[in-house]
Amino acid sequence: MSDVHPIPREFIGSGPLSGTVKVPGDKSISHRSLMFSALAVGHSQVSGLLEGEDVLSTAAALRAMGARIERGDDGIWHIDGVGVGSLLQPTTPLDMGNSGTSARLLMGLVASHAIDTIFIGDDSLSKRPMGRVSVPLSQIGAQFSGTNGDYLPMTVKGVIGAAPIQYRLPIASAQVKSAMMLAALNISGVSEIIEPIATRDHSERMLRGFGADLKVEQDEDGTRHIFVRGEAELKPQNIDVPGDPSSAAFPVVAALITPGSEVRVTNVGMNPTRTGIYKMLIEMGADLTFVNEREVGGEPVADIIAKYSSLSGIDVPPEIAPSMIDEFPIFFVAASMAKGRTMTSGLDELRVKESDRLALMAAGLAAIGARVKEVEDGLIIDGSDGEALAGGAMINSALDHRIAMSFAVAGQNCLNPVAVDDISPIATSFPTFEKMMEELANG
């Protein structure tokens, strides 16, 4: 992204939004479907893959390590895997682009293979810390040498013959959990990853589908123990990726805050570890209906119907944060137009995402007329009671796709245009976002 010319854009509402849309495939599942297919022996197929830049970075890295990955003319992706333990030494650095998921999960993959490589990324990713995975992975003998110790570019040297892992996550992070699970796949014996606070469980669900020997036990206090038997033999699969619930949150909130709107988003993944934002929006009074509920490839799926609603502020419990961690930027937009005060806490993780999302959302919302206070681990927002905000500001997106999309949606209910300094990062996760918003505006 660092060499892409910035694309500024103004956003302003033009009346009610209506229509039926389909959002891109779930980003988390898309990443994992490629990785696990590359580790299976044989031919896997993936339909509905998110073809954003983040996922394409994962595909390119796996190709560099020996997997054959091609997109068919029908949109179905074909992966011929090399098997656990058989990844090849890449001949050039692995470019992660803007994708923290690619970087952290693939570091876990490389850590237990005989691979010595360099991870690089764009300006934004190079400011994100990698210690959360490099420190625990160092315990199995893998070696990490990064810029200023903790940042990309980072040299990673994997290790063969490591002892099984027993690791307790100090923070709630599906990326860290998945990185450790990926490393465990090529370690002889049973590794245990202990998760005090449950996070999205796509890795567990999908690995079972690929035939991994994986068990999950839960204590009375909710602590999860994930046991992975290494030297796994994964079997190829056909995967249908559901729509990304994080992406779906943008048209849903756009409908909730734009008077007269009714929007249907189809085929959205409803994994209970990912639906925190919808639970919180309903608590605020959102008119959301879930229809056509079903299960696809082990993942619950539904269509979401969202209608303009009078929202009320709430206190968001910190324990729900892992199930909506990526959706807080757009949730803050909804809160800024609700009646009364919304309080959030326990969101330290948002300061080390693609950007410091707490600081950027606080500054951006204040610039368009919202009443917001930034605290150490959250935001306190006094809403406008449904009234349009002033708008009329240029927003610094800091190369963060979710910041850019959140303020594009905020512009739907502002008196003056909201300008975003650069919408090009949106392509990392939602390349059809602008087209979708235009279709909903045109009814």
What residue segments make up the domains of the chain, in order of their start? Answer: 9-25+242-441, 27-240
What is the tens place of the pLDDT at every residue in 65-83? Answer: 999 999 999 999 999 999 9
Confidence of residue 355 (pLDDT cuts 50, 70, 90): confident
Question: For residue 1, is pLDDT > 60?
Answer: no
Lookup: tokens for 61: 């890295």
Mean pLDDT across the chain, nearest whole number? 96
Query: 27-240: which CATH topology?
Result: UDP-n-acetylglucosamine1-carboxyvinyl-transferase; Chain (3.65.10)
What is the tens place of the pLDDT at every residue in 9-36? Answer: 999 998 999 999 999 999 999 999 999 9
- Determine whether the annotation assigns residue 104 to a binding site: no
Predicted model pTM: 0.85
Is 133 buried (19+), middle (13-18) or exposed (0-12) by CB count in 10 A?
Answer: buried
- Determine whether the annotation assigns residue 32 to a binding site: yes
- Determine whether the annotation assigns residue 402 to a binding site: yes
- Determine whether the annotation assigns residue 175 to a binding site: yes
Pairing of strands 68-71, 299-307: unpaired
Once rounded to an integer, what is the mean pLDDT over residues 239-259?
97
Confidence of residue 5 (pLDDT cuts 50, 70, 90): confident
- Determine whether the annotation assigns residue 168 to a binding site: no
What count of residues does the chain have?
A: 443
pLDDT at 2: 41
Same fold, 9-25+242-441 and 27-240: yes
- Determine whether the annotation assigns residue 264 to a binding site: no
pLDDT at 372: 98
- Determine whether the annotation assigns residue 139 to a binding site: no
What is the tens place of the pLDDT at every residue in 273-305? Answer: 999 999 999 999 999 999 999 988 778 999 999
What is the tens place of the pLDDT at every residue in 388-408? Answer: 999 999 999 999 999 999 999
Confidence of residue 443 (pLDDT cuts 50, 70, 90): confident
| Percent of the chain's residues with pLDDT above 70 | 99
SS3 417: coil
Nearest to 150 by CA among 167, 173, 165, 133: 133
Q: Which residue has the higher pLDDT, 149 or 175?
A: 175
- Determine whether the annotation assigns residue 369 to a binding site: no
The CATH code that applies to domain 9-25+242-441 is: 3.65.10.10
Q: 124 CB contacts (<8 Å, ≥6 apart)?
A: 1, 2, 98, 354, 355, 398, 399, 400, 425
| Percent of the chain's residues with pLDDT above 90 | 94
Catalytic residue among 95, 326, 400, 422: 326
SS3 24: coil
* C-beta of residue 57 within 8 angstroms of C-beta of residue 97: yes
pLDDT at 4: 58
What is the tens place of the pLDDT at every residue in 317-353? Answer: 999 999 999 999 999 999 999 999 999 999 999 998 8
pLDDT at 92: 97
Is 326 noted as a catalytic residue in this protein?
yes
